[in-house]
Structure 1
Amino acid sequence: AIEQSFDQGENANRTSVDLRIRKTQHSVLAHKFVEVMTEYNETQTLFRERSKGRIQRQLEITGKTTTDEELEEMLESGNPSIFTSDIISDSQITRQALNEIESRHKDIMKLESSIRELHEMFMDMAMFVETQGEMINNIEKNVMNATDYVEHAKEETKKAVKYQSKARRKMWIIIIVSVVLVAIVALIIGLSVGIR
């Protein structure tokens, strides 16, 4: 029974080590996830700016010049027909440019939507990581307390075994001394009765 309690204590230590390893892995992966998401967000923003620049250049090619504010307003409206309102030309180049502008506009709208979704996901993940971090800290604290209790129990059990063996030894010494004393008293009584 004592050996089993020692084995259980060793299993608790292994569990504590596994928990710390998992916590470290969780922290590293969460940090890498944040880095990847930040890089992804920056890439999407860069793509949006490049696409916006292309659309502006294509509008200039067709003869329509726009300011950054007008371009942003057109992009925010989500309506590609805004691009076509002032551009009516029969030439093949103009139609091709117009189609490309509308295609770019759709790409930008999709990109903006995915950026919003990514931002929401990123915020949810940050909140989740924070919540899980507190929970893991509480679990680690409880495991450490349990480990301390197990160590204390091991020490107390060792002391109890030691005291028990000392008590047995003392009991046997007392029994032997008592038997010897009874034998001596019996011998003395036997000799004193035999002398008379």
Structure 2
Amino acid sequence: MKDRMQELKAAKDSDDDDEVAVIVDRDHFMDQFFEQVEEIRGDIEKVAENVQEVKRKHSAILSAPNTDEKMKQELEDLMADIKKTANRVRSKLKSIEQDIEKEETENRSSADLRIRKTQHSTLSRKFVEVMTEYNSTQTDYRERCKNRIQRQLEITGKTTTNEELEDMLESGNPAIFTSGIQMDSKIDKQAMSEIESRHNDIIKLENSIRELHDMFVDMAMLVESQGEMIDRIEYNVEHSVDYVERAVSDTKKAVKYQSKARRERMYDVSRGLTAPRSNSWGEQRAFPRGRREQRSRAVTPVPGSS
């Protein structure tokens, strides 16, 4: 009888040890997860800061009396850094999403999983918000460059409509702007130099906008998987990509039908993603690093997420 009691006690001790090991293991995993959350949040904030700097560069370039090549290079470096950091964020968010989907497929449900889903949702929404602002910044700068070109053309005596100017920009040939213009004065030459400079800026912007469009499509699917969508994505992607895709269309009629079809696709997506937008960036800052405090302060999970 004594031996049997010792066996039972030993078995209980073994079970307790296993339970402690699992808890410690899980705590270590969540600590690593929150470290990753902080890294992603830091990258998103870095992109947001760079976007504000891009805005300042845009204003400085447009207000400068002469082309400032050094400032333009700084702008290109900023844009390259935004692209690099944004791709890193997108990759990490997709990795977290895949881990969550795997656990859900295995029918696992826990407070930890709900916390991770909430954090992933918050980071995804903030990332889309920041990238939407960047896209708006780019398209706004394109419009301002186009307006400058139009004003400079007027100085040389060449008046253009908005549609004519778009056609000229889509040609990709700076010489089309000088066609029929007699550059008899210093003012005319300065105006043409400004036109060529802004045209080059627009070409670079359109490449950036195209890259942003690809990222938006990817992130839209990421947010869709959570049952949420940022409405501004559709507006900014739709209007910015119009500038790029028109350039590869054979006729204006083709552009019209292509744009209509794209809008219908975007509307179909938005109609299927009607979950309301909620939770501000500040509501779900990183959980404290203390494990127990992390759990006690976790945001209430979205219904149906467990």
TM-score by length of 2: 0.40
- Number of aligned residues: 133
Superposed displacement of residue 130, structure 1 = 4.6
1:90 partner letter:
D
Q: Does 1:4 align with 2:17?
A: yes
Return the match for 1:101 from 162, 172, 195. 195
CA distance, structure 2, for counterparts of residue 7 and residue 125 of structure 1: 39
Q: Does 1:31 align with 2:44?
A: no
RMSD of aligned Cα (Å): 2.4
- The equivalences for 1:44-193 within 5 A come to 44-128=138-222, 130=224
Q: Deviations over 1:45-101 (max 9, x none)?
A: 111111111111110011000011110000111111100111122211111110110
CA distance, structure 2, for counterparts of residue 8 and residue 83 of structure 1: 73
TM-score by length of 1: 0.60
Question: Which residue is equivalent to 2:259?
Answer: none
* Structure 1 residue ranges without an equivalent (≥5): 135-196
Q: Secondary structure, in 3 states, of the residue corresponding to 1:63?
A: coil
CA distance, structure 2, for counterparts of residue 109 and residue 123 of structure 1: 22
Query: Structure 1 residues 67 and 17 mapped into 2: Cα distance closer, same or farther (>3 Å)?
Result: same
1:4 partner letter:
D
Superposed displacement of residue 20, structure 1 = 3.4
CA distance, structure 2, for counterparts of residue 130 and residue 67 of structure 1: 40
Q: Deviations over 1:158-194 (max 9, x none)?
A: xxxxxxxxxxxxxxxxxxxxxxxxxxxxxxxxxxxxx
* Structure 2 residue ranges without an equivalent (≥5): 1-13, 31-109, 228-306
Q: Bigger radius of gyration, 1 or 2?
A: 1
Superposed displacement of residue 10, structure 1 = 4.0
2:131 partner letter:
M
1:87 partner letter:
I
Return the match for 2:137 from 36, 43, 46. 43
Question: Which residue is equivalent to 1:140?
Answer: none
Q: Deviations over 1:89-140 (max 9, x none)?
A: 2211111110110110110111111111101111123334556x59xxxxxx
Higher relative contact order (CA 8 A, sep 6+): 1
Superposed displacement of residue 9, structure 1 = 5.8
Between 1:40-49 and 1:97-106, the stretch displaced more is 40-49
CA contact (8 A) 2:125 2:223 kept: no
2:20 partner letter:
D
- Could you tell me the percent identity over the aligned residues? 67
Q: Secondary structure, in 3 states, of the residue corresponding to 1:86?
A: coil
The structure where helix makes up a greater share of residues is: 1
CA distance, structure 1, for counterparts of residue 162 and residue 26 of structure 2: 63
Return the match for 1:22 from 98, 110, 116. 116
CA distance, structure 2, for counterparts of residue 116 and residue 34 of structure 1: 16
